[in-house]
Structure 1
């Protein structure tokens, strides 16, 4: 791995690794087909890595139902970036660049920065043209030189790029609908087992992070996949599954409402009744009678 000597000046060091002139100390767009010193770097920047028709795209999660014209990876500071890309580009920008900007305020919305490499974005030819156009605008602005407008224009163009990536990820969730349904079926089994085994009583409501490793996914990917398929967050979806289990217990067993409430992790029977009525329109007792 190529070690960066001065982590506070990563952009400049990374440019030197690719024998590239530094046009801005906080952001750079690098042609990764250029000769490079080393094969990996540990960055203190955000990175968007574009691989054009990568031969190793399966390493990044591409399957037969995905596009194959290019692959995009998103990296957060402190993560390693693979530089062994024969044909591609890498946009790096330091967190300082986006501080106190609209992009900085919105960055958490771009949850794909926390996805695993196997959850990368695989794009079509048309989508690739859009990505290259956005990167071209960033490159043009870097070549323009630094003035009072540079930060705003660069950040706006990075935000536009990320907005398009968000759109393309939504499209990828659509083309992966069938496998997503299978993953959600498995998630249902994991959630149901969590509640019926009494874990909710001991640990409370589960988060995406509890189930993500069992699904072979990152917690952020599970959240986004579920939101795209069902319109619900993991928290909302778990709550609905919990109430569905409550219905089944009420109809198929003689357990008391208090016992069901405790098993499903509600703090009190009153809390259970309130949530149950909010979702179903009736109390647990009324549901059992009817």
Structure 2
């Protein structure tokens, strides 16, 4: 198995890239200062966002290469592995902002960092920036860099974290723009999702796999679960899980009219392990138990 280089601290990553450490928990890293190095698999114990400025193939996520372009942002959460090992050298270029989870302790951003789902996006899901958006991002980096170079005082942590949060909020806005500009692609994803759902219930998968899961369809569509969920949410106003449950209820209503089938048989056909779980969900969504709904109709 290929060796994984693990960076436990921000200081270790700064040393690796010939950058000075101005703060132990956060850094804006100029990757142009790094020496040419061999391709290796890398893991970080902190958040890291790359701003790539040229097309290159130096980083891989999982088994797939990111499509880098001018002004492309790639987000990694602590523990993720990126890169590949091969006997070739490359020159890192661009900028990275890195911050340790400990920086966020006791802050408002610490409580909402999990809401920025793009840290779990993967293949073909990087954020591609317009020139104006790129300038906005660079301005955020400059503000953070200014605070890092400023003498540390009681305001330092608050201002650094506030500027990181501002940067992430801008990224969320720019991702919303990207979802809109790729509307045709997203609609295609939704159409394929609907087809996969129909195929799921028309075959044996409810018996073999149980209730359909969001991860299953994300894998089928070659998307990360978070990116897939965000597409469904922006296109339909519902979470992917809610969309699946709506489909379950829709099919269940049809099956309930088949008088020869018991409610338990219907539950098992839909993938429920226990009929009472089906009855509970049905009542939550419809307002009646399956038996009550059958009698009413």
With the length of structure 1 as denominator, give the TM-score of the two structures.
0.83
For each residue in 1:77-103, what CA deviation from the matched residue of structure 2 results, as whole angstroms up to 9, or x when unmatched? Answer: 122355956541000111111112111
Q: Distance in 2 between matches of 1:169 and 1:59?
A: 20
User: Contact between 2:104 and 2:161, CA under 8 Å: does it hold in 1?
Assistant: yes
Q: Distance in 1 between matches of 2:163 and 2:173?
A: 15
2:15: which partner in 1? 16
- Unaligned runs of at least 5 residues, structure 1: 63-67
2:46: which partner in 1? 45
CA 168–257 in structure 1, closer or farther in 2 if over 3 Å, else same: farther
1:27: which partner in 2? 26
Q: Distance in 1 between matches of 2:244 and 2:46?
A: 35
| Higher share of residues assigned helix | 1
SS at match of 1:119: coil
SS at match of 1:131: helix
| Aligned-residue offset at 1:156 | 0.7
CA 202–148 in structure 1, closer or farther in 2 if over 3 Å, else same: same
Q: Note the 1:70-89 alignment, pairs <5 A.
A: 70-81=71-82, 87-89=93-95
CA 124–53 in structure 1, closer or farther in 2 if over 3 Å, else same: farther
2:101: which partner in 1? 95
1:256: which partner in 2? 261
Q: Distance in 2 between matches of 1:213 and 1:100?
A: 36
Which of 274, 278, 285 in structure 1 is aligned with 2:283? 274
Which of 229, 233, 245 in structure 2 is aligned with 1:223? 229
Which of 147, 152, 155 in structure 2 is aligned with 1:146? 152
For each residue in 1:156-185, what CA deviation from the matched residue of structure 2 results, as whole angstroms up to 9, or x when unmatched? Answer: 111110111111111111111111111112
CA 27–273 in structure 1, closer or farther in 2 if over 3 Å, else same: closer
| Aligned-residue offset at 1:194 | 2.6
CA 228–26 in structure 1, closer or farther in 2 if over 3 Å, else same: same
| Aligned-residue offset at 1:203 | 5.0
Which of 80, 103, 122 in structure 2 is aligned with 1:116? 122
Q: Distance in 1 between matches of 2:159 and 2:197?
A: 45
Q: Distance in 1 between matches of 2:129 and 2:116?
A: 17
Residue 161 (structure 1) aligned with residue 167 (structure 2): yes
User: Contact between 1:261 and 1:272, CA under 8 Å: does it hold in 2?
Assistant: no
| Aligned-residue offset at 1:124 | 0.7
CA 85–128 in structure 1, closer or farther in 2 if over 3 Å, else same: farther
| Aligned-residue offset at 1:74 | 0.3
User: Contact between 1:134 and 1:161, CA under 8 Å: does it hold in 2?
Assistant: yes
- Unaligned runs of at least 5 residues, structure 2: 84-88
| Aligned-residue offset at 1:26 | 0.9
CA 250–98 in structure 1, closer or farther in 2 if over 3 Å, else same: same
Q: Distance in 2 between matches of 1:193 and 1:17?
A: 50
